[in-house]
Amino acid sequence: MIFTVTLNPAVDKTLTISNFSIGHVNRVESLRVDAGGKGINVSKTIKELKGESTAFGFIGGKSGEYIKEYLDDVEIKNDFLWINKDTRTNIKIVDTLNNTFTDINESGPIVSQKDLEKIKKKILDSVDENSVLVLSGSIPNGLGNSTYKDIIEYVSSKNVKVILDAEGELFIEGIKASPYLVKPNKYELEKTFNISIENDLVLIDACRKVISMGVKYVVVSLGENGSVMVSKDRVLKARGLKVNVKSTVGAGDSMVAALALSIERNYDLDYALRFAAATSTANVMTEGTQTAEYEVINELINEIQIEEINM
């Protein structure tokens, strides 16, 4: 079973505005409302990929009720911890004329350490050695930068395979607990090791530094330039496809979903990267925060070219 953790979920409102202009009145052409947050996005994609997951997280207020009802309606299992504060709302602005995507994200409610301990126990009681646990996204106010590190260490006795997709200090601290797989972006690797990544050689060297810390796999998305997967013994690169990009929202989450399923289904590395790249590519071809369609993903899988880099 795959378990996703969204400590700071959101109701995502995607506004489509042609020629969005700061400082002026803008007319909304269309509005889409979704249950959001990175872990929830992962669960939604897993559902589309014919897999199953259980979503954990903190929710509260009317926004929290909406998220719960949304996931129940689409039959995604969930076991949220209710808090006495409203879940945040995020605004996504898609400018169809200028092809830009603007995020306006609330910081979210304050969550106590006591609440964190409660949700950690929920997770520990649910996972086992056959589980994949996805920790992704921001954390709410009140929790520290070691939050993901603490959760990874807390569940280590269950030998669960943990995927970490986080930014900043959450990532830097999290890799110290040796998660199974991490999905940083280029910027996070530069920040972590205080380097400038200008080519694949430097990128791969940075990934290997993460591997040396006890992480088994590092996957880095490079946007239109594809993605790279690094393990102790292998380096694979998926070439990017030229497609009509409608929205980049959730592309990384789609990749994480495919990677989680690949681990659960024991796919070999080549197919896992091809599957993840195809899922992420299909996602950017959809509008707003919509999940890519299974049929489109299957069509793209055979188009993804995998290259082994020998170093």
pLDDT tens, position by position, 102-121: 989 998 899 999 999 999 99
pLDDT tens, position by position, 4-40: 999 999 999 989 999 999 999 999 999 989 999 999 9
Active site residue 253: yes
Beta bridge partners of 92: 14, 103
Q: How far apart are the first and last CA of the chain?
A: 35
Mean of the pLDDT values across residues 123-150? Answer: 96
Q: Which residue among 34, 253, 268, 270 is the active-site one? A: 253
Is 43 buried (19+), middle (13-18) or exposed (0-12) by CB count in 10 A?
buried
Domains and CATH numbers, the chain: 2-308 (3.40.1190.20)
pLDDT tens, position by position, 238-261: 987 777 666 666 788 999 999 999
The pTM is what?
Answer: 0.92
Q: What is the DSSP string of 210-263?
A: HHTTT-SEEEEE-GGG-EEEE-SS-EEEEPPP----S--TTHHHHHHHHHHHHH
Full strand arrangement of the beta sheet holding 30-36: 30-36, 10-16, 88-95, 100-105
Higher pLDDT, 223 or 124: 124
* Amino acid of residue 17: I
Q: What is the DSSP string of 111-133?
A: --HHHHHHHHHHHHHH--TT-EE
